[in-house]
Structure 1
Amino acid sequence: MTDVPSPQGWVRSEDAPRLPAPPNTTGPVGWMLTNLFSSPMNSVLTILGASFVIWIAWGVIDWALIRGVFTGEDREACVAVPNSGACWPYVWAKFHQFVYGFYPFDQRWRVNICFIVGAVTLATMAMPSLPYKKWNALFLLVVYPLMTFVLLTGGNLNLSSATIYFITGALLFSALVVPIAAFGIEEGIQRNKLALILAGIAVAIWLVSLFVSMPEINAFGGFISVATLINLLLLTAAAVLSIGHRASTRDIAARSALLGWVGAVSAIIAVLVLVTADFGLVQVETQQWGGLLVTLVVAVTGIVAALPLGILLALGRRSKMVVVRLFSIVFIEVWRGVPLITVLFMASIMLPLFLPEGTNFDKLLRALVGTALFSAAYMAETVRGGLQAIPRGQYEAAQALGLSYWRMMNLIVLPQALKIVIPGIVNAFISLFKDTTLVLIIGLFDLLGIINASFSDPKWVSPQTGTTGYFVAALMFWVFCFAMSRYSLFMERRLATGHKRRGI
């Protein structure tokens, strides 16, 4: 250090050397002093909290490992030792049921393929640095569900006339609504004149078929009424004519609408072909499914369906179109006002009473639809909260650039809104995953249900059997929920580009 005299005193001509930070402010010791022992009250709470955690941890370790029984062939191994702990031989003997339920033993390779492919695809999708994200997402959301459906059920399904009527109804809806969404109400109706005529003919044929017996032909894996196939062709023609009238011009909206409709119809045809094709697999009824398999099927289906449906409902609730807004509000409020257990009960017990005689849907399918719609209502409010957090200037800037409504939402508004509500979205996913245990009330044996059922086996009745089974269930649920929670925190850090994050 060099100091030179000046009229005012001594002036430093060089920077002072940087001194190391005090030892009690850096490293683990500094972190604990700052976060755990910063005040007398915090110190007392830290000591009490640490003592409670150590007490709980020691109790679990003592019960599960130190006093636990690890070998044996039946309940005698778990009751032979006085004051014994966890009965792990029971877990080893029943673990296959915990995972597969009553799925046939020689067919469980199909479940294993679904688990492995799903885990690998989801892991590669979750890693941001890996390429081909779009193709991976397409496989995960389109190909993988069809693959798992065929593998788990065996495919080769017989579709009833009710299913075909549902498909024709979807085509009719697309033929009438898609042009209106693409071109506006007036022009959309103008384009739909011919479609309305064809739809009227289809409805007339359907009414006649209610009173006049129509011949049936073998199609889509079963016998389908000729009237149903004619309606399918008429409504397909109506949709093509109404959407594709000017799709060959430079009308971007027309081309987009036509491409979207063609993609939807192609997907429906692909699904029909796959589910009715005979791949030589043994049919496995959903009543034989159970355990972790049912838990994952219900949870994953609900999660995948709830997010896009929730986004559409949130946009519909903020729409300026009165009918769309009222429909979204009624849907959300009705489904949010009913407990999930009531939804499952209605889907399992009451819904078949309102269907035509001889028409029935699989119990698991009804539970999946009810769970997805219930979760979508809650997801819609979560997404709506994110939409309301976006400043008005973002909408005005997008409109000033000449972006259409859907491009504005897709490119500007929704990415910001969904980033804001990541904690709420993941919270809904975790809640849905845990709510899958409610399917037991309608006779579906999920992970917790199959563990409850295993307690009735007299070979493994012991004082520690129930505690051990519930401990395994809690541990498996915690692993999945904790993984979702930590990945959401990772995505929050990665997407927090506009502000700093603290306290995570």
Structure 2
Amino acid sequence: MSVSNHSFVRSAMIAPAPAPSSQKGANAWIRKNLLATPKDVVLTILALTLLAWCVPHLVNWLFVQAVWTGPDRTFCATTVQGGVQPEGWSGACWAFVSAKYDQFIFGRYPLADRWRPTIVGILFVLLLVPMLIPSVPRKGLNAILLFIVFPIVAFWLLHGGLGLEIVDTPLWGGLMVTLILSFVGIAVSLPCGILLALGRRSTMPVIRMLSVAFIEIIRGVPLITVLFMASVMLPLFLPTGWTVDKLLRALIGVSIFTSAYMAEVIRGGLQAIPKGQSEGADSLGLGYWQKTRLIILPQAIKLVIPSIVNTFIGTFKDTSLVTIIGMFDLLGIVKLNFSDANWATAVTPMTGLIFAGFVFWLFCFGMSRYSGFMERHLDTGYRR
């Protein structure tokens, strides 16, 4: 009896079988991540015990017994006359945050003109969001509006002139100053860091020496020193009668400090690119800048996205150091309000610091999540 040559050849693939029930679901995740070994079991039990002890107390202090409204400190005071804690003793004093919220956002900016920073904030969001979404077209136009046109319009609105009342920068403060410093520091540091990294790898001795000197000197001192020098020593080198705005000094200090760190981040990405990429570009007849812009830099930047965002996050948090030169960012304006006698209680400082910490965490967490999104979108070695 003859048998067809194709009797045992499969014409279609079998559909994949579902994963075993023991390998999926919450129970499988718990067994794999929390109870895989005896050590994991012990650590899990200890962690759960600590959480069971801490979380109820935190929730109680932050929310249940917290004071949410009130005109002054008497609603948040933890003691009464005679030192006896009253019944229903309060927790966090969120009434203090509510009363000082406008100052935390705008600093001492005039109340009647706070519509101006509000418009600047709205414009910033409207330009930033399309820039961050890869599918939105016209990125070139968006970049010009965000990094060239927007700063000019924002300065005019915030500072005044040409029909608007002038508001001097010493009156600026709060979250507004934190965002200004971090935005300028981030926007300036990335291109400057790229140029410094390329300069450090240059074959021209003078360019390489200057780049190395700048990077090593700036990285060798703390940001406080850079800000102090920009605030105190810079005016000494200017002609008599000349001065530099304090905010501008802070912007310059933060920008050059971040640029030095960004240069090393970019240089790490450049060193990770195989030499064959450069040789292949040379074989196609591409010039140095064409090769760098089209072949080398896109690959290098994708490789160091986590490090770039980490530097951005550090810059955002380091803006709190401008307090040393007499400026009041978010943390500085919160601490300044601790001296208000109308809100002087034992829980006021802790509540204000928790609020400031939460705002900083919110922005940093957002940058971190966007970094993960870009890694997945650009497929830079991301693994589930």
Q: Same fold (TM over 0.5)?
A: yes
1:311-350 aligned at under 5 Å gives the runs 311-350=194-233
CA distance in 2, matches of 1:118, 1:320: 40
Residue 63 of structure 1 is matched in structure 2 by 61
Residue 335 of structure 2 is matched in structure 1 by 452
CA distance in 2, matches of 1:19, 1:470: 53
The yes-or-no answer on 1:299 pairing with 2:182 is yes
4+ runs deviating over 6 angstroms: 13-18
State whether residues 69 and 98 of structure 2, in contact with CA within 8 Å, keep that contact through their aligned partners in structure 1.
no
The yes-or-no answer on 1:36 pairing with 2:42 is no
Cα deviation, residue 53, structure 1: 3.9
- CA distances 1:228-250 after superposition (whole Å, capped 9, x unpaired): xxxxxxxxxxxxxxxxxxxxxxx
Residue 285 of structure 1 is matched in structure 2 by 168
Q: 1:17 to 1:379 in 2, by over 3 A?
A: closer
Cα deviation, residue 147, structure 1: 1.0
Residue 125 of structure 2 is matched in structure 1 by 119
The yes-or-no answer on 1:139 pairing with 2:145 is yes
- CA distances 1:339-371 after superposition (whole Å, capped 9, x unpaired): 110111111111111211011110110111011
Residue 83 of structure 2 is matched in structure 1 by none
TM-score where L is the length of structure 2 = 0.92
The yes-or-no answer on 1:353 pairing with 2:239 is no
Q: Which amino acid aligns with 1:382?
A: V
State whether residues 24 and 30 of structure 1, in contact with CA within 8 Å, keep that contact through their aligned partners in structure 2.
yes
The yes-or-no answer on 1:469 pairing with 2:352 is yes
SS at match of 1:45: helix
The yes-or-no answer on 1:407 pairing with 2:310 is no
CA distance in 1, matches of 2:319, 2:14: 64
Cα deviation, residue 434, structure 1: 0.6
| Ranges in structure 1 where 5+ consecutive residues have no aligned partner | 1-10, 156-278
The alignment yields a C-alpha RMSD, in angstroms, of 2.1
CA distance in 2, matches of 1:351, 1:17: 72
SS at match of 1:134: helix
Q: 1:106 to 1:399 in 2, by over 3 A?
A: same
Residue 247 of structure 2 is matched in structure 1 by 364
Pick one of 102, 107, 111 that aligns with 1:105. Answer: 111
Q: Which amino acid aligns with 1:438?
A: L
1:371-390 aligned at under 5 Å gives the runs 371-390=254-273
Q: Which amino acid aligns with 1:21?
A: A
Cα deviation, residue 28, structure 1: 2.0
Cα deviation, residue 36, structure 1: 2.2
Q: Which amino acid aligns with 2:98?
A: W
Q: Which amino acid aligns with 2:308?
A: I
CA distance in 1, matches of 2:241, 2:135: 52
Q: Which amino acid aligns with 1:59?
A: H
- CA distances 1:165-195 after superposition (whole Å, capped 9, x unpaired): xxxxxxxxxxxxxxxxxxxxxxxxxxxxxxx
Higher relative contact order (CA 8 A, sep 6+): 2
SS at match of 1:281: coil
Residue 49 of structure 1 is matched in structure 2 by 47
CA distance in 1, matches of 2:308, 2:276: 25
Cα deviation, residue 24, structure 1: 1.6
SS at match of 2:339: coil
CA distance in 1, matches of 2:14, 2:313: 54
CA distance in 1, matches of 2:55, 2:178: 28
CA distance in 2, matches of 1:385, 1:16: 46
CA distance in 1, matches of 2:146, 2:55: 39
| Ranges in structure 2 where 5+ consecutive residues have no aligned partner | 1-7, 81-85
State whether residues 24 and 33 of structure 1, in contact with CA within 8 Å, keep that contact through their aligned partners in structure 2.
no
Q: 1:20 to 1:285 in 2, by over 3 A?
A: closer
CA distance in 1, matches of 2:201, 2:19: 54
Q: 1:27 to 1:143 in 2, by over 3 A?
A: same
CA distance in 1, matches of 2:301, 2:113: 40
Cα deviation, residue 21, structure 1: 3.3
CA distance in 2, matches of 1:388, 1:445: 40
Cα deviation, residue 19, structure 1: 5.8
- CA distances 1:313-344 after superposition (whole Å, capped 9, x unpaired): 00000001111101100010111111110111
Q: How many residues matched? A: 369
- CA distances 1:399-425 after superposition (whole Å, capped 9, x unpaired): 111111111111010000000011111
Residue 383 of structure 2 is matched in structure 1 by 502
